Structure formats: structure tokens, C-alpha cells
Amino acid sequence: MTELRSVAFTASERDRACPFDPSPDLRRMRETEGLPRIPVVHPVLGEVEAVVVTRYDDVRAAFADPHLVTGNGIDPDQPRTLYNQPGFLLAYSGAEHARLRRMLTGSFTNRQVERLRPAMEAIVEEHLDAIAARGPVADLVQDFALPIPSLAICELLDVPYGTRSMFQRTSQVIMSGTTSAEEVLAASEELHEALADVVARHRADPGDGVLGAVVREHGDEVADEELIGFGITLLIGGHETTATQIALSVLALLRNPEQLAALRDDPEAAGPAVEELLRHLAIPAPVPRRATADVEINGQPVAAGEYVLMSALTANRDPAFVPDDPDGLDLRRRPVTQLSFGFGVHQCLGQQLARMELKAALPALLRRFPTLRLAVPESALRFRSGSTVYGVESLPVAW
């Protein structure tokens, strides 16, 4: 790699011949002994050298290592941005991360997530009705993939559905990887102000959402700025990733008609299908870690102060992890412990919610439109290659 790339792009770079597969550079790194070090652009620190970890066992070990930490601490004298926001979980490690995460975990148990299922299924059906009424062509990104997780976040935060468009717009700017620092700062300020109003309302009268639950159960332990950070954690972690997973899952299934039919026609297929799609696509690029002490990954030294990038994309496709056709999409594959949600103490807090949304959205879409197809040549699709969350910009379909 001679071109200087962002940390997110480096860890999830795709093959130009296939929008789902790892790039040749990433494959070569996985097949080469040792741990390569390459220059990358960090969103806060600028150009840094980073260790790139690509094999399944190594990536899992790196996720679990307590000496590889996220975040650089909160600077109260700097503007509030994604990684400089109290309460944003990925800005913390160690005891402080554990203190904050503990306040949220109760809202993301399987039991709590299941309580949202009826509302989620109703949201899906409403959007399918609207698509059918406007047809016979729709953009699945704008008309389906983006609204569904946005409305789920509104349910979680107990805010009006009218807030959805602001959530979508600001989170896309913050996560794009290609917008200017000024645009990111402006979007961050707008989102911060909106969530400050939500927090004030819950402080006065705790509602039924996640923030209301935190105020009722931990109100004396948490500052308002941390509650705002919780809201940003939920929005950033649960909106862009799930939206792009929905859209890319549909595209992957359209390229594999037999797999699509298996999910469409078998009510029991949704669980294994979602796990396989998560493994195959590996949407988010894990946040870079910094070594706080000298460590070893698979016997290879990483010095204190070095930055480490973990590629869930190549780990999930590692032949040592999935010996049988690791690059293929097989919805009937026995589910494996894929790393798209990370691993260890920073494993995605809302992963069960994301699974529930995908299980509700994908089969319902395919059953409603059994003749679903691309409305444009696949070569016309544009992908977000510089974003923290890889995805397709639009997905025109017909039926």
C-alpha cells in the first residue's frame, strides 16, 4: 500500500471487482507472516503508523487484550466531537468504561429487545406499504434501510419520530469520513444540542426509553453530558451500521437468487441467515486501539504507544476460521462466532437489537416483493469507500 488511507478504509477496504470481498492488499496482509505496519490517517491524530491485524485468532485476541485501548480521554477545553464527548463509550477504556457501560446493559438484554419487536415489525410493515404504494421503483436506502433503524433509535431514546431526519443527517455527516472538519463540528454541535434537550426532559420526567431508565436507576451517578454521550453512542452505533447492513444484505441476496429464496421461503431461516450476512459483509470498521504497554499478538510484539487496526472483514473470511468456502455466502451455514460486532468488553452493546431489526426487515421485504430486482445495472451503484461504515449510497430496486 503506497497510498495514505484513513484508518477505517484501511481495515475494511474492498476488492474493486466485488463490493463484498476484502481488497487484495488486505488478503496479502492476512497471508503474510508477522504484523504489517503501514502509515494511515487517524481522524484525530492525523498521520500515524498502525499495526494491521487480519487473521481471525489475532483479531479476536486484539479485541480482548486490556492493554489495547480505545479513545484518548476527554479534553474539556476542546469542542464536543464524537471521540471527545463524555459518555460516548468508545472514548473510554478500563474502569470508567465499565462504570458507564453498566448503566446501559440492562436496556439491551434479549428480554428488553423483544419488547421492541411489535413496534419494529409495525415500522417495517408501514414502510413496505409506503414503498408498494409509490412503486414500482424505490430506493431501498432512503425508503427502507435508513428509516427503520432511525425509528428504532427514536423508540429507544423516547423522542418524537420527527427527530429521525435530523438523526440521519447529522450521523451521516459525522461518520462519512469525507466531510470537512467544519462540517463534522457543526453536525456534532447540532446533535449535541438536540440530545441536551432530550436529557433535560428525562431529568424532569424520566420516560420509558433508555435514557429515562438510566436516570431512574443511576441518576445520581451520571452527569448530563454523559447522558448526552449515551444518546450519541446509541445513535452512531445503531443507526448507520444497521442501515448499511440492511441495504448491503439485500444487494448480496439479489446477487445470490438461491440464497434469497431460502430466506424468503423458510420462516426458520432468518436467524442463521442474519448471522451469515453479518459474517460475510462485516460492515463497520473497528475503532483503532492504542497499546498502553508492550504486548504480543500471536507471538508478534506490539510496542507501547503503537496503534492497532483490526480487520473484522478479513477475520470473518479467514480460512482457518471458516474452512468451507469462506468467501461464499451460505445462509444455511452453521452460525459461527463472527467478529462484526467486535469482541470483549467493547463488543457492540446493541447487537441483539441489530439482529432483531434485521430479522424483522429482510424476510418481510422479500416476502412482500418476491420478484425484487435491481432497477439499474450493478455497475451504476456507488459505494462509500471512505466512510467509517462501508455501504452503498443508494439501491434502486423494482418488482
Residue by residue, pLDDT tens for the chain (399 residues) are 445 666 666 788 899 889 999 999 999 999 998 899 988 877 667 788 999 999 999 999 999 999 999 877 788 888 888 788 999 998 888 899 999 999 999 999 999 899 899 999 999 999 999 999 998 999 999 999 999 998 888 888 888 888 878 888 888 888 776 678 788 889 999 999 999 999 999 999 998 889 999 999 999 999 999 999 999 999 888 888 999 999 999 999 999 999 999 999 998 999 999 999 999 999 887 788 999 999 999 899 999 999 999 999 999 999 999 999 999 999 999 999 999 999 999 999 999 999 999 999 999 999 999 999 999 999 999 998 666 788 999 999 999
DSSP element (H, E) containing 35: none
Separation between Cα atoms, residue 357 and residue 378, nearest integer Å: 26
Domain residue spans in the chain? 5-398
Separation between Cα atoms, residue 339 and residue 250, nearest integer Å: 21
**Do the beta carbons of residue 82 and residue 88 sit within 8 Å?**
yes
Beta-bridged to residue 49, according to DSSP, are 39
Say whether domain 5-398 belongs to CATH 3.40.50.11030: no
- Name the residue among 14, 33, 30 with its Cα closest to residue 22: 14
* Alpha carbon of residue 3 to chain centroid: 25
- Name the residue among 129, 124, 236, 242 with its Cα closest to residue 176: 236
